[in-house]
Amino acid sequence: MNASGVLAPAEWAERQFGAVELGDVRRTCRAVVLAEHMARHPAASFPDQAGSWGATKAGYRLFDREEVTFEALQSPHWQLTRQAAGECGVVLMIEDTTELDFTGHRSTAELGPIGDGGGRGFLLHSTLAVDPAGAGRVLGLAYQMVFCRQPTPEHETRTERKQRRRESQIWPQSVAQVGACVAGAQWVHVCDRYADNFEMFAACRREQVDFLIRVAQDRRAAPGHQAAEPSEHLLEWARSLPAASRRELTVRSRPQRKARRARLSVAFAPLTVFPPWLDRDSSAPLRCWVVRVWEPSPPAGEEPIEWVLLTSVAVETSERALTMVDCYALRWLVEEYHKCLKTGCAVEKRQLQHADRLEACIGMLALVAVRLLQLKLTAKTDPDRLALEGASADHVHVLAAYRGRCAADWTVHEFWREVAKLGGFLARKSDGDPGWQTLWRGWQKLDLMTVGANLTQTGNRNCG
């Protein structure tokens, strides 16, 4: 497991921000201190996180500096994540875009339109690196960008559209920024239907990385990898493929939809996809594999599940097709990450008077949200590991003493259930696993207990 996810706040902040280049070592020190405060109380207001008026003013001054940018604050974290990804065999680079809504902050300048154009805020595009082994282990952010949407000019020509930065270019830009993987590793960019464009496919080919993308366009296609001309339409042909295997999958709850287990059919085949007619001269045909996942018999009143996936990973067996299904099913982790940022870190409640300052603040909170997500998942990724090896030793010893238990015997799973109990988890047989908010409340209480225990020991030594 990525230990940085469960380090004590001070250690975590030093690891994430101790190497940031902000033009002055004192700014780096301030960033580390501020990140520690944010990690202790992610959803608190900025003054509450800082702890005093002097520290609050110092934080505001930090965000005022032109050297303190979103990219400068996050770059060391990206490097740590890519280094960890290079040490794994296969890593999923899960990408998604979300809106950050600051419509109610009328005094904040230089925000862009969001939603239908009536709101104001940012778009945030995240590339979350995930080791797909087991339940999925979050390594961190391999890249992230925050930007304002640019309104489409009236009467825009096709040439002008190509020259203007479009949101569809976000996906290939992220691929280019993450770059190629090291020898012996395999990075697979996993994206939803918004990434179904030939610019994205071309970017993956340039960087020599793979992709797994849900189909949005019913493109011109042909079976196999030898065809020179299209003979089919992608979606119609994919839906004609016979089922090759079956898979059960947990469907997560959504608004107006309950969680359930779905019985799915899976089909796969090699495929050549041809570029759109207008881009036929600039884009080469795409030789890839299609994997279709569908629910033949959904429960009454439930919308049936269907994914049609394109991938550059060779899918020559049913087992390989099922692996692709499992990989795409982990895409929910980036949605959960954005939930951690908005709910767990209350990012949309931050009030700063200029977009540049707000971007820098988001850059710090975005890494705190990674820590929140890692905290939620840590009990699932390696549950039988000894707690002293998978979490901060000080925190394990303090909680064990509080519960009257032996710290050396606790597993990671047992430790985190005890942490959740501090946050209000009842741990009844019917309760299932604790949620991340319950875990985080428990962790905050345990962190305060640990700080108190360490201060007591330090005070005793100083008085002795």
Beta pairing class for 232-233 and 186-191: unpaired
pLDDT at residue 4 in the model: 43
Residue 48: is its pLDDT beyond 70? Answer: yes
pTM confidence score: 0.87
The CA distances from residue 440 to 236, 346, 388, in Å, are 46, 14, 19
387-426 tens-digit pLDDT: 887 777 888 899 999 998 888 888 888 888 898 899 898 8
pLDDT at 5 exceeding the cut of 50: no
Residue 83 has pLDDT above 80, yes or no: yes
Residue 54 has pLDDT above 80, yes or no: yes
How much is the pLDDT for 164?
Answer: 60
Which of residues 92 and 39 earns the better pLDDT score? 92
Average pLDDT over residues 278-305: 87
Least confident of 213-222, 330-339, 393-402: 393-402
Q: What percent of the chain has pLDDT over 90?
A: 55
Does position 462 have pLDDT exceeding 70, yes or no?
no
User: How confident is the model at residue 255, as a pLDDT?
Assistant: 67
Q: What is the CA radius of gyration of the chain?
A: 24
- Most confident segment among 60-74, 241-255, 372-386: 60-74
Q: Which position has the higher pLDDT, 309 or 298? A: 309
Residue 6 pLDDT: 64
The count of C-alpha atoms lying within 13 angstroms of the C-alpha of 48, restricted to the half-sphere facing its C-beta, is 10
CA distance linking residue 284 with residue 297, whole number of Å: 38
Residue ranges and CATH numbers for the domains of the chain are 3-69+351-380 (1.10.246.40), 384-455 (no CATH)
Average pLDDT of 215-232? 93
pLDDT at residue 277 in the model: 78
> In the chain, pLDDT over 70 holds for what percent of residues?
93
